[in-house]
Each structure stands twice: as structure tokens, then as C-alpha cells.
Amino acid sequence: MTAARDALLAGGTCTLWEGVMPAGTLAQVYERRLRRTRRIGQETLGLEQAVQRLRQYEGAVRLGRVDASVGPWAFMLFLDPEGRSVIACTGVRQRKG
């Protein structure tokens, strides 16, 4: 996702977690988050597409997160197990306070 890359280039931070999870498990988790963000009106970027890609991906997924240094966005990265290829990415506008 361009917005996550732009956040990194603007001085954001990236965290990659150890271990992997089945893509199908993450698809279920993020599908619930999609329903919740819609219900409460929280702005997201690419969340529906990320859920679709996770459903289609048949392997394990490594998680990462990009926090923008400027602006209210945080991005979740869904990577191949080695952390080299992005399978999906979603952003969520962080609420203040």
C-alpha cells in the first residue's frame, strides 16, 4: 500500500513480529474488525481488500506494523513468512484521546 510506504519514507517506524499465523485465521480476525470499524464509523484504508487477500492466500503470514510519524494513521502489514513480500496491507485512522 502506497500510504504505508509513504509513512515509512516520512520517518515512520516499522515493527515486524516473530512467528507466523495461518492466513485464514487472520482473515477471520480482520473480517470482525472490518464489521466493527464500519459500525463505529472508524476510517480505514484497504481493510476490505486485505480481508479478501488473506482469504485467498493459502500460506502462513507474518505480521508487521507501520506507525506514521506525522498524521493519525497506523498500518498493518501481512507478509510472507520471511517478511520479504507484502500479501496485504490495511490502515486505520487512530482515534485521539
Q: Is the pLDDT of residue 97 over 60?
A: no
Q: Is the pTM of this model over 0.85?
A: yes
pLDDT digits 0-9 by tens, 74-92? 999 999 999 999 999 999 9
pLDDT band per the 50, 70, 90 thresholds, residue 96: low
* Spatial distance between the Cα atoms of 78 and 76, rounded to a whole number of angstroms: 7
| Residue 94 DSSP label | P
Read off the pLDDT of each residue in 56-72 and give the average, rounded to a whole number.
93
Between helix 47-56 and helix 23-40 the angle, nearest 10°, is 160
